[in-house]
Structures are given as C-alpha cells and as structure tokens.
Amino acid sequence: DLHSFPTRRSSDLGAYRRDLQRFLDTQSVAGQAPDDKTLSSDRFQNHLATLAVEGLANRSIARAAASLRSFLSFLHRRGVTPCNWSERVPGVKFAPALPGFVGETRIRTWLESLPGRTRWELRDRCLVVVLYGTGARLSELVGLNWGDLDSAAGTLRLFGKRSRERIVPAGRYVMAALLELRRRSPGDATADAQPVFVNRKGERITGRSVARILRRSFARAVGGTISPHTLRHTFATHMLNNGADLMSLKEMLGHSNVVTTQIYTHTTPQSLARVYRATFPGDRAVPGEKGLAH
C-alpha cells in the first residue's frame, strides 16, 4: 500500500508515489507478493537503466532509486519482508555538471562595447577584464589591493580559499586597464594597502555589487545573463580550447587537485572544428598534391 509510505515532507509524497508506481507498472510486479526472486538486484538495475534510456534526468533517476530504497527499508522495518532488499538497489552517481561559459565571439563583443570615459565606467570595464583575463574568483577580485599588482612582471597576487596565496599572470590588456584605472583614481585611493575596486563612497566594493554590474552590462551588450563565476568558467574553457595544458590551468585557477580542473575539458564545436582541420589529411590536401590514400 503506497499510501502508507511515510515521508517527512508531504510535498515529496506525490513524487515518491510516482517513482514507486512506475517501478510496479514497468516491471509487471503490481499485485504480486514480494519475494526474493522477483525483487532481485538485476531487476532494480534494469529498471534504472530503462529510466535512463527513456531520457529521465540523472537527478530524477537518483530520486527513483532513493524512493525504492526507502520503501524497501520501510517494508523490512514493518516485518513485511524477511530481509532488507533496499541494499539491492544500486546507487546513482551524478556526472559532474558542465560549467556554463560564454563563447569567444560574445565575450569579444561585450569587451568592445565597454565604455571607459569616466572613472566609474573604467572601473566596471576592469571588473570584466580582470575576471575574464585571470579566472579570478569573485572573492579574490573583491579582495584585490593595489599592492597586489606587479606591473613589471605582469602578475597579480590573489588570495583564494582558506587565504591561499597565488600569483597569476595578467596579460597586457588586463594590466593596461588596471594601470589606467589607477591613473584615473585619486592619489590617496591608490596606495598599496587600498582596494582596487571601490564604490562611490570609496569603500571596497561588495560581491553583490560586482554581480549586479556584470549582469546589467552583459544584458545591454549581448543579451542574456552572466555571473562572476561564469566568467571564471569562460576563462578556463577558452584557455583549454586554445591549447593550455591542465596542470598550468590548475595553478592559474588555484585548484588544489587537477581533478577539479578536468571538468573544463568539455568540447565545443569550435574546438572540434580546430582538431578536424589540424588532423584530417583530406582537409589539408591541395590539388596536384597527395591527399588521402586511394
């Protein structure tokens, strides 16, 4: 009786019932007394595999497995089943979600649209340039002080998670924008201990303000939404698509483990096209020269 299945959240009850009813219906065990042979490990494995073939999202399949395990455990506690068959339901592992990123053309359009007539317009442009040009986290950007710039070396010093310090390269475009912002700022606001990014009161800018500035600017320039973390993902994706190696990117992003960096190794149509042009011999064949072997 599915109506007797307990749940702490009544809003989930409908979903749990649907998960259990789908199993009963698709596996043709409705109305049968549960027995050790009917509810085998293969039965549960095949059911979850069928859900995947039917196109259910990974999260929905994981919920279906959890519903089955909970219900079978409940039956065992109530003495309905001789053993706990919930142990036969396999776990469902989530594939890491691919991070969202912005294509190179849209980023270029956005950057070219950013004005820099006033100090504050220049500040907003620098926010975009630094986040995209270094892959810095939002907290690292907000915490950046003028003393963290090394214009001679072309680097920035960032303080990441658990105050871990790292030095990251800042290209000419990034450094030029920062130095112009420094030149256009009041002298007492550009001492080494002063924050690079401030609000109109002269106080260190907040992460919420940065997110709002980016969101409005991106929407005006190219349409759509963006977040500071999306810019970090975009930096990593563009670096890999243009030949960066994982270990170097790991250091630039401040990851403690290269496994974290590997999430950015998803392919894009642009990267596939480059690989095709670079490696397919027929695409390099010139009339009158040897191309593909016949």
Residue 125: left (phi > 0), alpha (psi -120 to 50), or beta? alpha
- DSSP state for residue 101 in the 8-state scheme: -
Is 274 annotated in the active site? no
Report the b/e string of 103-127 with b at 16+ CB within 10 A.
beebbeebbeebebeebeebbbbbb
**Catalytic-labelled residue, pool 47, 88, 137, 182:** 137
Residue 276 main-chain phi, psi, to 5 deg: -60, -50
**Catalytic-labelled residue, pool 47, 88, 233, 255:** 255
Contact status, residue 87 vs residue 75, Cβ threshold 8 Å? no
Is 232 annotated in the active site? yes
Is 125 annotated in the active site? no
**Catalytic-labelled residue, pool 161, 208, 216, 284:** 161
Is 137 annotated in the active site? yes
**Catalytic-labelled residue, pool 22, 184, 229, 274:** 229
**Catalytic-labelled residue, pool 232, 233, 238, 250:** 232
Element (H, E) at 158: strand 155-159
Nearest Cα to 268, choosing from 95, 109, 101?
101
Amino acid at 166: R
Is 132 annotated in the active site? no
Residues forming the active site: 137, 161, 229, 232, 255, 264
